[in-house]
Amino acid sequence: MATKQQKIEIARALYIVGRNEEEIAAILGSSKRTVQNYKTEDSSSGYDWDVLRAEKHISADNPRREHLYSDFIGYMHDTLKEVRNDEKISASDKADKIVKLSDAFSKMKGIVRHEDPEAYKRGIIKHVVQVIGEGIRSRGDKAMLERFIEIVDEAGERLDVAI
């Protein structure tokens, strides 16, 4: 039987390669809360799982980097919404989670800006364009959406960005 430290290391490794907390809990035969506790405990030992996951993906091939940055921004935004909307979490726990998310986001920004600043900028642009496009589409204004696509195509050519 694996020790607690071995389970933490296994959970960390699974998280780094992209597994979520529910999947990790199922693999380890524990609860999601236990995995969250492992993540918190490991963080206090200097292992920030989110940063380690980001570093692994940043070292991936260059074409993937641009998508990684926009995916990361989307992930952070979605997670922030989940935390804010979770009625089971107390206000102080929400504040703590938001601070940790902000810290992870700041670390990621620092890593990606240093690693590949141009890909980082393109990733930000791509995410912003996607959010605006989804907002226009949700309003059902087909003419506005078509005009938006034209503008994005023109801007993409000027910026040399594949959106």
Domain count, the chain: 2
Residues 103 and 35 in one domain: no
- Statement to judge: residues 104 and 141 lie in one domain: yes
- In terms of domains, do 137 and 63 share one? yes
Q: Are residues 12 and 75 in the same domain?
A: no
- 38, 77: one domain: no
Residues 27-86: tens digit of each pLDDT: 888 999 999 999 999 988 888 888 888 777 666 555 555 566 667 777 777 788 888 888
Angle ∠(117,52,12) on CA atoms, nearest 5: 160
Same domain, 8 and 21: yes
Between vectors from CA 74 to CA 105 and to CA 43, what angle results, nearest 5°?
35
Do residues 32 and 100 share a domain?
no
Same domain assignment for residues 103 and 54: yes
Q: Are both 96 and 38 inside the same structural domain?
A: no
Task: Report pLDDT for 35.
Answer: 94
Structure tokens at 1: 């039987």
Q: How confident is the model at residue 162 (pLDDT cuts 50, 70, 90)?
A: very low
Q: How far apart are CA 123 and CA 112, in angstroms?
A: 10
80-130 residue pLDDT tens:
888 888 888 888 888 888 887 777 777 766 766 666 677 667 777 777 777
Query: In whole angstroms, what is the distance from residue 11 CA to residue 13 CA?
Result: 5
